[in-house]
Homo-oligomer: A and B are copies of this chain.
């Protein structure tokens, strides 16, 4: 399928069941988001958790009321129950199903949250001529659990998870400048250099994703990662929860440049 499809066209193909795979590379230039759907009883605390931890949990949209499956700010004719290629369903914190549509699981008390993801800033880095190692090596970005505590909110707490991309110092400085423009997709790195300073003891064995090559003269840069809220949700063990499957994102109508603060 042609990657240069509009977000609306892609969502319609997803809704019809024609498209059920990873969204990476589709509708280039448009924001893709992480999905988290929680019962109203947990929603306010999760919202506070995102508010208190904007680097790992940059909220770019949410449903205006429980039961609402539309988020007009993020997309025309968007139906959050059917417009993601693959969903994960959790009960009491345990993965119980992976499905392509959650319309039949929908409830009047469900609140939908969409969080920014690193695809947006990776596109900006590559557009500036920087190499993003996980992209050039064709693997998932390496992600690590750190010793950095998130600010707790109600039942949500946990350590920050970070993604890592190695660069030489000159490119690293440029990457910090570029990502600073995009606070809604994790913003600037939170650390570079010594992994142990943030509790990462084995850079070659990430906790999530794949290892990438670090060349001589390069330093690892660490960004706050959207897996952080997933870990917090798993630990909170809400009775019911729906997320996207890894890599199968909500493709929105927002241009990436729309997220730039300047």
Q: Which positions 189-227 of chain A face chain B at CB distance < 8 Å?
A: 189-194, 197, 217, 219
Contacting pair B177 A192 (CB below 8 A): no
Give me the 3 closest cross-chain CB pairs, A-B, nearest first: A176-B176, A169-B192, A169-B191
CB 8 Å contact bits of A168-190 with B (1 = contact, 0 = none)? 01101100110010000000111
Number of copies: 2
A262 in the interface (beta carbon within 8 A): yes
A59 CB to nearest B CB, Å: 22
- Residues of B contacting A192 with CB < 8 Å? 169, 172-173
- Residues of B contacting A191 with CB < 8 Å? 169-170, 173
A262 CB to nearest B CB, Å: 5
Contact of A194 among B172, B177, B188, B217 (CB under 8 A): B217
Cα A170 to Cα B160 in complex, Å, equals 15
**22 A–B pairs (Cβ distance < 8 Å), ordered by A:** A169-B191, A169-B192, A169-B193, A169-B194, A169-B197, A170-B190, A170-B191, A172-B192, A173-B176, A173-B188, A173-B189, A173-B190, A173-B191, A176-B176, A176-B177, A176-B188, A177-B177, A177-B180, A177-B188, A180-B180, A193-B193, A197-B217
- Residues of B contacting A169 with CB < 8 Å? 191-194, 197
Cα A71 to Cα B260 in complex, Å, equals 37
A260 CB to nearest B CB, Å: 12
CB 8 Å contact bits of A34-59 with B (1 = contact, 0 = none)? 00000000000000000000000000
- Residues of B contacting A219 with CB < 8 Å? 193
A197 CB to nearest B CB, Å: 6
Residue of chain B at shortest CB distance from A197 = B217
A191 CB to nearest B CB, Å: 5
A190 CB to nearest B CB, Å: 7
- Residues of B contacting A217 with CB < 8 Å? 194, 197
Cα A177 to Cα B173 in complex, Å, equals 9
- Residues of B contacting A188 with CB < 8 Å? 173, 176-177
Cα A194 to Cα B172 in complex, Å, equals 13
- Residues of B contacting A177 with CB < 8 Å? 176-177, 180, 188
